[in-house]
Copies of this chain bind each other. A is one copy, B any other.
Amino acid sequence: MTGTDDAFADTPVAIVGLGLIGGSIARGLRQAGHRGRLTGCVVDAADVATAERLGLVDHVSTELGEAVAGAALVIVAVPVGAMASVFAELGAHLGADTAVTDVGSTKMSVIADARAGLGKAIGRFVPGHPIAGTEHSGLEAGVAGLFNQRRVILAPTPETDADALARVEAFWQSLGAQISEMDAAHHDEVLAATSHLPHVLAFALVDTLARMAERTEIFAYAAGGFADFTRIASSDPALWSDIVTANRQAIGPVLDRYIGDLEQLRAAIAAHDGDTLVAAFGRAKQARDRFAQRSTNDKA
C-alpha cells in the first residue's frame, strides 16, 4: 500500500544525503502526500541549489544540526563509507524521541558506526536496507516509485526500541515497501551473495576486458546478454568499494567458493568434459528459471 498513514503523514522527516536513495525517498514521500516537514542535508553547497531547484525537500542545508532539527525521523542515506562520520556528528543533534534509520547495503558495519556515534541513543536506531536501486547516482537520479512493492529489510539490534521500530515501519509502508526483519549478520551474508558478489564479478569482467588489447572490438561486438550482465558495472565505484570492504567478512567466503567453482568449470572446459558443464549449467538454469518465475508472481 502506498499513501499517507494518519499517524505517520504529519511526522517531520530529515533525510541525510539526497542521492539516488535519499532523493527517491523525498520524491516518494511527496508523492504519498506526506504533510510533515521534509528537510535534507547535503555535503556540497552546489547540491543545495540543485535540491532546491528540484524541490526535493522543504529545507536543505549543508549543516547536519540544522537539517535534523525538529525531525522525529532521521533517515541516513549516505554511502556506507560515510556512515561513521555522519553518526559521529548526529548524536549531539538528536531530539530525545527522534528515531533514526539508514539505507546502507551492509548492516553490521553501519550498526558499529551507529553504536560508536549515537552512544546511549542507539536504542532509537533501526538499521534498514531497501532492496532497490539503479546503476545511476546523484540528486537527479531519484525516482518517486523506487520502493513501491520492493522489499525493505529491517535489522533491529537488541537495544532497538519498539516506538522507533514502529515509526520506521510506518515510513516504509507509506512508500509502499514490503518489510521483512532479519538479523544483521544474516542480512550481510544474504546480500553478499545476491548483490555484493555480482557487483564485484561484473566490475571485474568489464575491467578484465577493458585491459585487453582487442578491447575496442570486444565492446563493439557485445550484445544484449553482455549489456544486461554488466549493467551493474556502471554503478558508483567509490560507493561499491566501501560496501565491499565494509562487508568483506561475508563476501570473502562466497567469493572464494565462486572462484573454486569457476576453477572446476575451467578444468571441465579444458578436458572437454561436457557432462560436468551440462550438469552445472542445468542446475543454474533450473534455479534461475524458478527465481524468474517467482519474481514474475511477486509482481502480479
Contacts and interface: CB of A to CB of B under 8 A. Distances in A.
Interface of A: 81, 131-135, 150-151, 153, 180, 189-191, 193-195, 197-212, 214-215, 217-238, 240-242, 244-245, 248, 251-252, 254-259, 261-263, 265-266, 269-270, 272-274, 277-278, 280-292, 294-295
Among A135, A226, A235, A282, max chain B CB count under 10 A is at: A226
A123 to B, nearest CB: 26
Contacts of A258: 204-205, 208, 262
A241 B134 CA distance: 32
Nearest to A150: B223
B269 A255 contact: yes
A190 B220 CA distance: 10
Contact of A194 (B221, B259, B288): B221
A181 to B, nearest CB: 12
B292 A227 contact: yes
A245 B269 contact: yes
Nearest to A129: B221
Nearest to A222: B194
B285 A219 contact: no
A237 B134 CA distance: 29
Contact of A190 (B150, B203, B214, B252): B214
A257 B254 CA distance: 20
Contact of A229 (B150, B229, B273, B289): B229
Given A201-B201, A202-B229, A231-B225, A266 B272 contact: no
Contact of A252 (B150, B208, B259, B266): B266
A190 B218 contact: yes
A232 B229 contact: yes
**Which of A207, A242, A270 has the most B CB atoms < 10 Å from its CB?**
A207
A138 to B, nearest CB: 14
Nearest to A228: B228
B221 A131 contact: yes
A209 to B, nearest CB: 5
A240 B232 CA distance: 24
B153 A233 contact: no
Contacts of A290: 219
B261 A221 contact: no
